Amino acid sequence: MNTPLLIDGKAAATRVLQQVREDVASLYEQAIEPTLAVILVGNDPASQVYVRNKVLRAEEVGIRSLEHRLPSDTTTEHLLQLIDHLNADRSVHGVLLQLPLPAHIDELRALQAINPDKDVDGFHSDNVGGLSQGRAVLAPCTPSGCLYLLKQACVDLRGKHAVVIGRSNIVGKPMAALLLQADCSVTVLHSRSQDPQALCRQADIVIAAVGRPRLIDAGWLKPGAVVIDVGINRIDDNGRSRLVGDVDFDSALNRVAAITPVPGGVGPMTIAFLMKNTVTAALNQSQAQRSLSEAVCPSIS
Ligand code: NAP
């Protein structure tokens, strides 16, 4: 078999962010300053790092960011008030609620409170439903990034059998919807699937989003499969802490046509697509605003 293609997420993310920079510049020419509000509740160290990275990346591409850090004992009502305030603020185009939230907060209610037009994570049920109907909506960032990477490795996705391992609302389910939209035949596996290995071995494309270090080895893979590894798992490797994916990279390498490494594969794509969604949200809102003013004051336009 030919040497497998290593799908480079860092390079792909750089390309997406370059396009975002250009889109931001053209928004500025229309006097629109794309703005992302990020809400962090509590002191979860991993969430603090994620938020910091998102804010830094936003600054790099010219997106204004507003950070709202709330204490761990914030009530659902208080959080909803802040979301209402950001929904009403026309200068804010994207609202991101960093997950997980402290256990006492009603997560679903909070996510549903975000205006779907500002829902840059794509978690509101209007966007989830729109995605399964095949409409152009704000789609979740990680699966959007995976689809972008797949398009680098597969010339044509049409008719390919894709197996998604994992059915979370954040990755697995929206990934399946995006692959269906791209005309793949899609199988979704989960912890109750019977003989997942045998099902996975039928796949032309494998998306692993399980959260189990190196679960998927060569025995799960058809020769020539394209593998996207979403998993990020920290393991102890002979006393050294390191990140590995859900795929056993070394074993898979002998089987696959293309594969994403961990780190350096899907990871950088998530923030890149968050920036892309923020610009899309800003563009959509400015167009909606223009149409509204043209309808109200046709002579001015
Ligand atoms: P999750 O909510 O825990 O979902 C895991 C899914 O895997 C569940 O649907 C579960 O099935 C399924 N599963 C568990 N064990 C299985 C097995 N042995 N065989 C088949 N399916 C199995 O996780 P997630 O949020 O989707 O994240 C998945 C991984 O991706 C994690 O490592 C996470 O850190 C990573 N991630 C990375 C990024 C990124 O930016 N690269 C973004 C998000 C997540 P049930 O539904 O039956 O329980």
211 C-alpha vs ligand 1 centroid, how far in Å?
4
Question: Quick check: is 151 catalytic?
Answer: no
How would residue 233 be classed by pLDDT, with cut points 50, 70 and 90? Answer: very high
168 C-alpha vs ligand 1 centroid, how far in Å?
6
Question: Quick check: is 121 catalytic?
Answer: yes
Q: How far is CA 223 from CA 22, 171, 203, 253, 276, in A?
A: 40, 25, 10, 10, 34
Distance separating the N- and C-terminal Cα atoms of the chain: 61
Report the share of the chain in percent with pLDDT over 70. Answer: 97
82 C-alpha vs ligand 1 centroid, how far in Å?
30
Contact of 157 with 186, CB cutoff 8 Å: no
Determine the average pLDDT of the residues in 67-84: 98
Question: What is the value of pTM for the model shown?
Answer: 0.95
Pick the catalytic residue from 121, 229, 246, 248.
121
Predicted pLDDT at 299: 52
User: Which tokens go with 277?
Assistant: 């969604």
Q: Which residue's entry shows tokens 């799960």?
A: 220
Whether the CB of 274 sits within 6 Å of ligand 1: no
Contact of 292 with 40, CB cutoff 8 Å: no
The pLDDT of residue 222 is above 90? yes
Whether the CB of 210 sits within 6 Å of ligand 1: yes
CA dihedral (250, 251, 253, 254) in degrees, to 10, reads 130
List Cβ neighbours of 7 (8 Å cut-off, separation of 6 or more): 149, 152, 153, 228, 258, 259, 260, 261, 265
Pick the catalytic residue from 98, 117, 173, 204.
98
Q: 35-66 pLDDT, tens per residue?
A: 999 999 999 999 999 999 999 999 999 999 99
Predicted pLDDT at 287: 86
Predicted pLDDT at 60: 97
Question: Quick check: is 30 catalytic?
Answer: no
Task: 194-200: list long-range contacts, CB under 8 Å, 24+ apart.
Answer: 196/165, 196/220, 199/163, 200/163, 200/165
The more confident residue out of 2 and 110 is 110
How would residue 300 be classed by pLDDT, with cut points 50, 70 and 90? Answer: very low
The pLDDT of residue 301 is above 70? no
Pick the catalytic residue from 23, 54, 204, 246.
54
Q: 120-159 pLDDT, tens per residue?
A: 999 999 999 999 999 999 999 999 999 999 998 877 999 9
Q: Kindly provide the b/e burial profile for residues 142-165, where b requires at least 16 CB atoms within 10 angstroms of the residue's own CB.
A: bbbbbbbbbebbbeebeebbbbbb
Whether the CB of 209 sits within 6 Å of ligand 1: yes
Pick the atom of ligand 1 nearest to 211's CA. Answer: 32
CA dihedral (259, 260, 263, 268) in degrees, to 10, reads 180
Ligand 1 mutation target, pool 49, 53, 171, 269, most atoms within 8 A of CB: 171
Using CA positions, which residue lies closest to atom 16 of ligand 1? 191
Pick the atom of ligand 1 nearest to 266's CA. Answer: 41
Instruction: Count Cβ atoms within 10 A of the Cβ of residue 286 and give its class: 0-12 exposed, 13-18 middle, 19 or more buried.
Output: middle
